[in-house]
Amino acid sequence: MTRTGRISQRVLRATYQLARLGIEIETDDERVLAGIDARLRPLRAELRRDADIAYRVLVSDAPPAFGARPAGTARQVYGSPAGAVDYFEATDELFVDCPGVVRARCRVSTGRVEVKVLEPHAGRPHAMNAFLSIPLLELAKRRGLYPLHAACVARGDAGLLIAGASGAGKSTLSLALTKAGFAFLADDIVFLQRRRDELRVVGLPDQVDVSRGTVAMFPELAYLSRTMMPPARAKHAVRVEELFGVSPQLQCRPVALIVPDIAAREHSSLVALAPSELIRELAPNVLLTDAASSRQHLGVLAELSRCVPTHRLVAGSDLDQAVELLRPLVA
């Protein structure tokens, strides 16, 4: 069970477990906590020791220095229209800045993150995204869990990774495979972990973000075509537990990896990929912060590309046919 509750008039707390990493959230805003918990629900856990990774997210008044940009020289390691992420090598810190909306200061070595929501209405979803997309990935990387932008499903312990950029069809394909009886581990982010002499996949069974195109392909999602899109979002969020009545799986052994490309045709086809081609696809997953952990991350991705058979799926509109094409890869 998660440990959630009001510990003062304004502070709420929840705790989660990602593999062996304990995560703690503290916030003064119920909607922030509810939004994070909606995404991390399958990881709820009571922690028996201090959290490895701790976040404090403030929407109300905060000290001026809370979540402020660190002093010193920085270099940008990630940028998007919404904002940027800078890395401060001298102090080993990340600073996430969505101007006028939210800022986050991540002290990597201690595992502590301060998030200040500057514009509450728009800032709540941004605060959740900042929490999930950047600080957690870097903090996990430093603690032996190497992030990969991929979906994952499994049959028993045999996992199928679906790697690719946003819009490549990962969500649609992972939903189709889950509907066909595969276990669900993740829609967008997984972590690779070395355990003894093998790589393991640790799932992040988040909500699945579905576009209008994906909604049109699943009768189970038809109700969303009549539902307004949530504020400040371009996609609807659904949970596979509610959609298909399944429980997420938290870990597996990767036995196959596919890179999908959407094609304007009905049927799908598989083409084998060489390891060198795959590592080019996966290299952008590495956030180039400190040199040592970045090399380790690249090394794990290279190991994955050498050890796991990989195919490019030219994905057509017949999802049932695509599922049958992929099923033998994890037989």
The DSSP string of 23-42 is EEEEES-HHHHHHHHHHHGG
Do 152 and 84 share a structural domain? no
Proportion of the chain above pLDDT 70, given as a percent: 95
Do 134 and 96 share a structural domain? yes
Query: pTM for this structure?
Result: 0.92
More confident residue, 47 or 9: 47
Least reliable range by pLDDT among 34-48, 142-156, 228-242, 246-260: 228-242
Confidence class for position 231, pLDDT limits 50, 70, 90? low
Do 204 and 108 share a structural domain? no
More confident residue, 122 or 265: 265
pLDDT on residue 235: 86
Mean pLDDT of the 234-256 span:
92
Q: Distance between CA atoms of 81 and 98, rounded to whole angstroms?
A: 9
Do 94 and 169 share a structural domain? no
Among residues 141, 157, 182, which one ends one of the domains? 141
Least reliable range by pLDDT among 124-128, 165-169, 181-185: 124-128
Do 315 and 207 share a structural domain? yes
Confidence class for position 236, pLDDT limits 50, 70, 90? confident
Do 159 and 22 share a structural domain? no
Helices (H), 28-133: 30-40, 120-133
Structure tokens at 199: 């790589």
The pLDDT of residue 167 is above 60: yes
* Domain CATH code at residue 183: 3.40.50
Do 189 and 304 share a structural domain? yes
Helices (H), the chain: 30-40, 120-133, 135-141, 170-179, 212-215, 240-244, 275-282, 291-307, 319-326
- For residue 122, give its domain range: 5-141
Packing angle, helices 120-133 and 30-40, rounded to 10: 30
Q: Distance between CA atoms of 311 and 239, rounded to whole angstroms?
A: 28
The mean of the pLDDT values for the chain is: 90
Do 178 and 112 share a structural domain? no
The pLDDT of residue 4 is above 50: no
Do 179 and 132 share a structural domain? no
Do 268 and 151 share a structural domain? yes
Among residues 141, 168, 184, which one ends one of the domains? 141
pLDDT on residue 9: 52
3-state SS class at 274 = coil
More confident residue, 261 or 254: 254
Do 160 and 48 share a structural domain? no
Mean pLDDT of the 217-244 span:
86
pLDDT on residue 7: 41
The pLDDT of residue 132 is above 60: yes
Do 116 and 244 share a structural domain? no
Q: Distance between CA atoms of 84 and 78, rounded to whole angstroms?
A: 6
Mean pLDDT of the 6-20 span:
80
Mean pLDDT of the 243-266 span:
93
Confidence class for position 264, pLDDT limits 50, 70, 90? confident
258 burial via Cβ count (<10 Å: 0-12, 13-18, 19+):
buried
Among residues 106, 124, 141, which one ends one of the domains? 141
Q: By the 8 A CB rule, do 182 and 154 touch?
A: yes
Domain tally for the chain? 2
Q: Distance between CA atoms of 77 and 288, rounded to whole angstroms?
A: 6
Confidence class for position 138, pLDDT limits 50, 70, 90? very high
pLDDT on residue 305: 95
pLDDT on residue 6: 41
